[in-house]
A and B are shown apart, each in its own frame.
Chain A
Amino acid sequence: MTEAPGLTPSQTAGPYLSIGLLRELVPTALVAPDDPGAVRIHGRLLDGAGDPVTDGMVEIWQADEEGRYGDEAFPGFGRAGTQDDGRFAFVTVKPGRVAWPDGGLQAPHLAVGVFARGLLKRVVTRIYFPDEEDANAVDPVLSALTAEQRATLVAVPDDGGLRFDIHLQGHAETTFFAV
């Protein structure tokens, strides 16, 4: 067969995704909470009315602290279901910087995928770190966005660690990416 096969289209994960996906296989804690580099990243998944999305799932994909992807000691992939208040939480480490295709380095970031009833396909965003001001200032993604867009992508320090709310719609809609 010479012709490339057509892609399989996306469909919504629906309200019952936890049956198949929120099992023991994929953790919310990528490192132990007492790991020296452990950081807790939590937030809420909110719809266009500001109401919590209680049946969603957030996935993160990230490099290790040295900027390496898929290292055996640190798989770098996590999943969290959203709870009754829309809340999700991960324990992980801040990744190292990784290259930008045209040269230079990206600021530390996590790739984020969100699935839920009402989303016919995954929506994708990134989490950046507030204590990386210098790296963020020259990051090829952040520096190509408006200040309002940038603000949606940088987590906010709070006493629980870092907070990153995801607004699917509305005046504070999170900046989403096509990948």
Chain B
Amino acid sequence: MSVGERRLPVVDDATRAGVDPPNDHHDYVGTRLRAPKQPLVILPGTETELTGPAYGESAVEANDADLTRQHAGEPLGQRIVLEGRVLGSDGKPLRGQLIEIWQANAAGRYRHAVDTHDAPLDPSFSGAGRCLTDDEGRYRFVTIKPGIYPWQNHPNAWRPAHIHFSLFGRAFTERLITQMYFPDDPLFPFDPIYNSVRDEAARARLVSAFDIELTEPDWALGFRWDIVLGGREATPLEEHHDD
């Protein structure tokens, strides 16, 4: 019946270092019935928040990082190499990080029952990949550039080309799912998801860079994208290595 005198602090919304989008972003219609409306209770970093799952080599199989070699035939589309580093907020590389990605095919269609976009599926493309970062925090995927596709958010709405990325970081607080975009996409000004990140510099960090050095002659275009992980403010507990 009685409530303790001690209360935990609350915050209207949780935005790590001012970079995350607000929960409630009206232009993105999907938020309207889903984004929580009550203030968030701030938890201090307890062991629950400052630890997190870790995955090793066994989580990744051959061809997981090459989405063009997961079927007997090669997928249609512009072949690309995607490389970058995963860093902590202190700038240190995060090694052994599991990265999971998923994307549409070159025609802008996902291999998913809910995607009814009138564009062809590609029997040679599943659109899912995984890899682990190396000792320098580096990752590398080979895939095809995903197509732009329409969605029903507003009249004539199209998503900029993007690849979904999922990462764990060193702690529960650092878990991140985000999207990587391609440079100079003409749809940026019209996309409420991309523009949900209010800070211009932070928004720019979602966009990969074309890299001629990474581009392989007669084979694939190269794009570079670094990912920086961190929680609100807490420092994760010391990393445990089991190798």
CA A25 to CA B166, docked complex, whole Å: 13
Residues of the B chain whose Cβ atoms lie less than 8 Å from the Cβ of A59: 175
Q: How many residues in A have their beta carbons less than 8 Å from beta carbons of B? A: 72
User: With A9-B178, A120-B25 in contact, is A178–B47 under 8 Å at CB?
Assistant: no
Residues of the B chain whose Cβ atoms lie less than 8 Å from the Cβ of A61: 48, 51-53, 172
Residues of the B chain whose Cβ atoms lie less than 8 Å from the Cβ of A1: 91
Smallest beta-carbon distance B235→chain A, Å: 12
B35 x A120 contact (CB < 8 A):
yes
Smallest beta-carbon distance B222→chain A, Å: 20
Is A18 in the interface zone, CB < 8 Å from B?
yes
Smallest beta-carbon distance B117→chain A, Å: 11
Give 1 or 0 for each of A1-37: 1 = CB within 8 Å of chain B CB: 1001111111111111111110101000000000000
Q: Could you tell me which residues of chain A, from 50 to 84, have a CB within 8 Å of some CB in chain B?
A: 51, 53, 55, 59, 61-63, 69-70, 72, 75-77
Q: Could you tell me which residues of chain B, from 16 to 50, have a CB within 8 Å of some CB in chain A?
A: 16-17, 19-23, 25, 28, 30-38, 40-49
Smallest beta-carbon distance A125→chain B, Å: 9
CA A40 to CA B104, docked complex, whole Å: 35
The answer, among A25, A55, A141, for a CB contact under 8 Å with B43, is A141
- Of B42, B176, B232, the most chain A CB neighbours within 10 A belong to B176
CA A8 to CA B166, docked complex, whole Å: 12
User: With A7-B229, A11-B21, A178-B14 in contact, is A168–B89 under 8 Å at CB?
Assistant: no
A77 x B53 contact (CB < 8 A):
yes
User: With A7-B228, A61-B53 in contact, is A13–B40 under 8 Å at CB?
Assistant: no
Which B residue's beta carbon lies closest to that of A72?
A: B242
A120 x B196 contact (CB < 8 A):
yes
B164 x A169 contact (CB < 8 A):
no
A177 x B40 contact (CB < 8 A):
yes
B33 x A16 contact (CB < 8 A):
no
Residues of the A chain whose Cβ atoms lie less than 8 Å from the Cβ of B196: 11, 120
Smallest beta-carbon distance B203→chain A, Å: 7
List chain A positions with a Cβ less than 8 A from chain B: 1, 4-21, 23, 25, 47-49, 51, 53, 55, 59, 61-63, 69-70, 72, 75-77, 98-101, 106, 109, 111, 113, 115-123, 126, 140-141, 143-147, 149, 168-169, 173-179
11 contacts between A and B (CB under 8 A): A4-B91, A6-B17, A7-B89, A10-B177, A16-B114, A19-B110, A53-B34, A69-B51, A77-B53, A109-B48, A120-B193
Add 12 more A-B contacts to A9-B202, A19-B111 (CB < 8 A): A12-B30, A14-B164, A48-B34, A48-B37, A70-B53, A77-B52, A99-B46, A118-B33, A121-B23, A141-B41, A144-B8, A178-B41
